[in-house]
Amino acid sequence: MSDRFILISGCSGGGKSTLLEALRRRGHAVVEEPGRRIIAAARASGEDVLPWSNPEAFLRRAIETDLADRAAAAALPGPVFFDRGLIDAASGLEALTGIPVLRPLAEAHPSHSRVIFAPPWPEIYGTDPDRPHRLDAAVAEHDRLARDYGALGYELLVLPKVGVQARAAFVEGAL
């Protein structure tokens, strides 16, 4: 199962969701970013699990969502691309709280050994109501994720800064 689950991670605002949509249009199974789904549900329900007001609750919910996504994706045929995923959420929770969750979760729920990794790309970076943090915070997150994925033994395939169709072709060729 682990070789089928391919993570797309890296810098916020680096084009991951756009790449995921291009991969979907090319016929690949995809799982959308948990964070945006959690934010939408929290806004609708009034529950305080927003990353800017209750980051620990948000990250715990992201881990729950990621585990549910993985279970659902097991029924899908072929490779499945995840916009972010379990390691991203566990890395964030461990950095925030110091609770050692990253390695145990990564070992219990492995993914493909190669991670598609979006580098900081200031020319396309933008904020919105669901991503209000500045580029410097996104770069710090990118650096933490690069360190943590590397420490877990994953190979990072850094996306080239090219158009989305060329990025999708790069991903298909690299895997």
Structural domain boundaries in the chain = 2-174
Whole-angstrom distance, CA of residue 21 vs CA of residue 164: 9
Rounded CA separation 106/149 (Å): 10
Give the residue, 124 or 46, on which the prediction is more confident: 46
Q: What is the pLDDT of residue 2?
A: 67
Interatomic CA distance for residues 36 and 101, integer angstroms: 22
Overall fold of domain 2-174: Rossmann fold (3.40.50)
Q: Per mean pLDDT, which range of 12-16, 47-51, 149-153, 159-163 is the poorest?
A: 12-16
Compute the Cα dihedral for 61, 23, 2, 145 and give only its sign.
Answer: negative
How confident is residue 1, by pLDDT bands cut at 50, 70 and 90?
very low
Dihedral-angle region of residue 143 (phi above 0 means left; psi in -120 to 50 means alpha; beta otherwise)? alpha
pLDDT > 90: what percent of the chain? 86
Contacts 24+ apart (CB under 8 A), 46-50: none
Share of the chain above pLDDT 70, in %: 99
The chain-wide mean pLDDT, for the chain, equals: 95
Sign of the torsion formed by the C-alpha atoms of 47, 51, 53 and 57: positive
- Length of the chain (residues): 175
pTM of the model: 0.94
| Angstrom distance (rounded) from CA 54 to CA 109 | 26
